Amino acid sequence: MGEKIKDITVLKLHDMDVAIELNDGSASTREYKTIHVQSERFRLQLKESQYLQIAAAVSVAAKKIMQYKEIKDE
């Protein structure tokens, strides 16, 4: 497991704080960077490319639901 480079953000999800961290990848797996999404209840480790795919999908979904519900972007 690599070392933490920096905290990206902390999100509030229901009553949980969810931290997103950027980490150096493991030399044994030859990953360049990994992203940890974690709280007191769970920890998810993603390759940087996987995280970016998920982030893009969530962003598109948010825009679509806002259009569908006719919510103005703030």
pLDDT at 28 over 70: no
In tens, the pLDDT along 35-63 reads 999 999 999 999 999 999 999 999 999 99
Q: Which residues pair with 64 in a beta bridge?
A: none
Q: Supply the DSSP symbol for 42.
A: -
Q: Cα separations (Å) of 26 from 7, 13, 36, 58?
A: 18, 29, 13, 27
* pTM: predicted TM-score of the whole model, two decimal places: 0.74
3-state secondary structure of 50: helix
